[in-house]
Amino acid sequence: MENKKSIGHLAALFTIIIWGTTFISTKILLADFKPVEILFFRFVMGFLVLLIICSRHLKCAERKQEAVFMAAGLCGICLYYLLENIALTYTMASNVGVIISVAPFFTAILAHLFMKSEEKLRLNFFIGFAVAMAGIVLISFNGSKLELNPTGDLLALVAAFVWACYSILTKKISSYGYPVILTTRRTFFYGIIFMIPTLFFFDFHMELSRFANITYLLNILYLGLGASALCFVTWNFAVKMLGAVKTSVYIYMVPVITVITSVAVLHEQITVLSGVGTFLTLMGLFLSESKTVYFHNSRQTEH
């Protein structure tokens, strides 16, 4: 069991490393693609790759399970990314980065309310959350001032809540016992279906000729094959092994990966603030993962 949990932690860490570097590919593609176009292409590609890897049909045992898949596709594939991208048009990227990092907190609350038998709130989780958020704030607002924008910041907050819902739904799906690749592909399918109507509102253009540019092609492949097809499988696997709360705390590491990637790829200078922020974020992650005190049924018990 411990070995499976170790693999789960490695899967979550691998996923976050990839997701934390996707901003480079997205930034490159935004020069000639709209956000909704990038999302549509990457998830269609991810769906097709998963279909090729495993063409076996997934037949749900009951309609309630199908409804959960639909909800997961709506939340994790369609709504989350649309809300995040729309938020970025109203407010600073640093604001969005900090607010999205609240997702593990929402996940813990939802897990406590709806999955009491599997997930319990712990004192060290909240301490780790506070320490990690302090670090994320230092990283995100390094060299810039905080500028609140109610519309953009609220959309980012809703996006964080939507991702928490997706995490809980993913944990529910993992209890069905289906292969992770098949469940991820089914989630992608519904996410794309829900995404299609939004294409008409965001001036979507197919124009596949743009991928004749090798730079664009390589970056969409990275997003479609790596960040979507592979990483959603590894993330869902991690949720299955560790639970929704333990997996979600790895989201704290996204700004850390961003800082490291900026230094390695974009040759940006790491400052004292970002260095301290990185340390605090990692400390928050470790505190949240440590096994200490649980809060359950309004009383404390030793773990």
Residue 23 in domain? yes
Confidence grade of residue 165 (pLDDT, cut at 50, 70, 90): very high
Residue 273 in domain? no
* Encoded tokens for 88: 């970025």
Residue 270 in domain? no
Residue 37 CA neighbour count, 13 Å, CB half: 15
Q: What is the mean pLDDT of residues 239-250?
A: 89
Residue 299 in domain? no
pLDDT at 303: 37
**Residue 300 in this model has a pLDDT that exceeds 50:** no
Residue 167 in domain? yes
Residue 212 in domain? yes
Q: What is the mean pLDDT of residues 107-123?
A: 75
Going by DSSP bridges, is the β-strand pair 299-302/293-296 parallel, antiparallel, or unpaired?
antiparallel
> Could you list the residue range(s) of the whole structural domain that residue 55 is in?
2-129+146-252
More confident call, 280 vs 300: 280
Confidence grade of residue 263 (pLDDT, cut at 50, 70, 90): confident
Residue 291 in domain? no
For residue 14, give Cα distances in angstroms to 10, 69, 206, 216, 250: 6, 24, 31, 24, 10
Number of domains in the chain: 1
**Residue 65 in this model has a pLDDT that exceeds 80:** yes
Total-model pTM: 0.82
* Encoded tokens for 170: 């993913």
Q: How far apart are CA 157 and CA 108, in angstroms?
A: 15
The per-residue pLDDT for range 213-222, each reduced to its tens digit, is 999 999 999 9
**CB 121: neighbour CB atoms within 10 A?**
17
What is the chain's mean pLDDT, rounded? 84
Residue 122 in domain? yes
More confident call, 73 vs 36: 73
pLDDT at 302: 35
More confident call, 255 vs 183: 183
